[in-house]
Amino acid sequence: MAQQRVLPQSKETLLQSYNKRLKDDVKSIMDNFTEIIKTAKIEDETQVSRATQGEQDNYEMHVRAANIVRAGESLMKLVSDLKQFLILNDFPSVNEAINQRNQQLRSLQEECDKKLIALRDEISIDLYELEEEYYSSRLLSEYPSGGASVSLLGETSLLSWVLMLDEITTSSSSW
């Protein structure tokens, strides 16, 4: 998936400016650090006194250290700008993440549908077995009028459960 994309001219120019800023800031840090090291060397003969030379070197080190700090802050700002550029302009990876999440959710839906269908089938089998047991029981033969009303009530509630599960599985598969 590491394909080269053609960037518009403005984006290409922006990336080139980021690259130039990076090189300039790193060069500034290196140059200032090198000059601080050079300033730390003590020269034997100079035309100015040692105290004056020490103060001048101290001032130069402070200025160069400040330049290093400025270049470091500029690099941190560059990192922030690069992150923002990536977030705003990396549509293919955002689309890929969305597609992956969509695929995960579809597989989860299919798994839930399969479990619901298995549950519906299991309840249907159990309902059938319960009806068989109920209609062959002694209670029904001993109390014909009372047994019929109980039978209709039990059959209606169990049947409504099966129908409700069937409706859930068919409606969830149409999502």
Residues 147 and 109 sit within 8 Å (Cβ to Cβ) = no
In this prediction, residue 7 has a pLDDT band, given cuts at 50, 70 and 90, of low
Share of the chain above pLDDT 70, in %: 75
pLDDT at 11 over 70: yes
Residues 32 and 67 sit within 8 Å (Cβ to Cβ) = yes
Angle, CA of 68, 74 and 79, to the nearest 5°: 130
pLDDT at 152 over 50: no
The pLDDT mean for the chain works out to 80
pTM over 0.75: no
More confident residue, 137 or 6: 137
pLDDT at 97 over 60: yes
Q: What is the pLDDT of residues 40-52, one digit of tens each?
A: 877 767 777 878 8
pLDDT at 143 over 80: no
152-162 average pLDDT score: 58
